[in-house]
Amino acid sequence: MSELAYVNGTFCDPADATVSINDRGFQYADSVYEVIVAIGSEPFRMTEHLERMRRGLEAIGLDLEPHGIDLERIIREGIERAGFDRTMVYLQVTRGVQPRAHVYQDGLVPTIVATFRPKPVVDAGVRARGVSIMTIDDTRRTECKIKATSLLPNVLAVSQARRDGYHDAVFVSPSGEVREASSSNVFAVRGGGLVTPVRDASILHGITRQYILECAERMDLPLIEGTLTVPDLESADEVFLSSSVIDILAVTKVNDKTIGTGKPGPLTARLYKTFLKGLPGSA
């Protein structure tokens, strides 16, 4: 078991994995990515992740078809070779290598990069206590539903949150609507039901978000995909974040407002139980 990388057809040690300085991924973030978690040898919701990547590739006009690249095979082989119990697969497809010019040439060979690392474990104390978030103006690009690698605003937002004593930051539109956190989606619990921002272009359509909505439906919880303002979030009974890496993570503070009792709430806990039960390999 050791961390593993993949670059254009070759599996190798991550320390030996390199791409060209002329790669458009490096120079322009002209690329898309996915983060997929595998439980044992089974990637969770891989079809959905690859479908989202396919939509992103289509949106940026990058066609893998002529290159005969089998992303599923790369993912499965990497997981097997790495041999972790829980693997975090990072997969990035860039438009390829070309001397720097904003306009891309036709016929470039896409660069395929992947890493296979253990899924980070959220510290048990952090999970039990919950985390704090601050709201921040959304200065990101408009097409956030594309899982593009141009993540500078996200990097700056979470770094500022950490400096200001919060765990994460949640982007808010100019009209005051909550969108998503730096690398996760946001849910509020209000009146016994779930409220989460609508699935439009301003958020990433999280695979975990969708899975949580399915879990909530099974539990007969009222669901609203709609507007969530900052005051709605600050006055919610419970708040949580979701992603492939953190699953469901309770939020106990939004800006200077304590959420509920200041501890992860009961509905979040029930939902997380249903969430875990639905994962491959759980009885």
How many angstroms separate the Cα of 57 from the Cα of each of 54, 60, 130, 145, 178? 5, 5, 35, 12, 27
Helical H runs in the chain?
Answer: 24-28, 46-59, 71-82, 124-129, 152-163, 207-218, 230-234, 266-277
Of 1-9, 10-18, 131-139, 238-246, the segment contacting ligand PDD by CB under 6 A is: 238-246
Q: How far apart are CA 242 and CA 186, in angstroms?
A: 7
**Does the protein bind ligand PDD through residue 245 (CB under 6 A)?**
yes
- 119 labelled catalytic: no
Smaller CB separation from ligand PDD, 184 or 252: 184
Smaller CB separation from ligand PDD, 56 or 264: 56
**Does the protein bind ligand PDD through residue 209 (CB under 6 A)?**
yes
* Interface pick for ligand PDD out of 31, 111, 183, 268 (rule CB under 6 A): 183
153-182 footprint of ligand PDD as x/- string (CB under 6 A): ---------------------------x--
Q: How far apart are CA 98 and CA 205, in angstroms?
A: 31
Smaller CB separation from ligand PDD, 242 or 268: 242
Radius of gyration of the chain (CA): 19
Of 68-76, 92-100, 118-126, 183-191, the segment contacting ligand PDD by CB under 6 A is: 183-191
**Does the protein bind ligand PDD through residue 206 (CB under 6 A)?**
yes
**Does the protein bind ligand PDD through residue 207 (CB under 6 A)?**
yes
Is 4:11 a contact under the CB 8 Å cutoff? yes
Number of residues located near ligand PDD, criterion CB under 6 A: 14
Residues 6+ apart with CB under 8 A from 182: 154, 155, 157, 158, 161, 168, 169, 171
Q: Count CB neighbours of 255 within 10 A.
A: 13
**Does the protein bind ligand PDD through residue 196 (CB under 6 A)?**
no
Q: How far apart are CA 126 and CA 217, in angstroms?
A: 27
35-54 footprint of ligand PDD as x/- string (CB under 6 A): x-------------------
State the catalytic residue, choosing from 119, 147, 263, 277.
147
Type of residue at 262: G
* Interface pick for ligand PDD out of 184, 196, 252, 268 (rule CB under 6 A): 184
- Catalytically active residues are 147
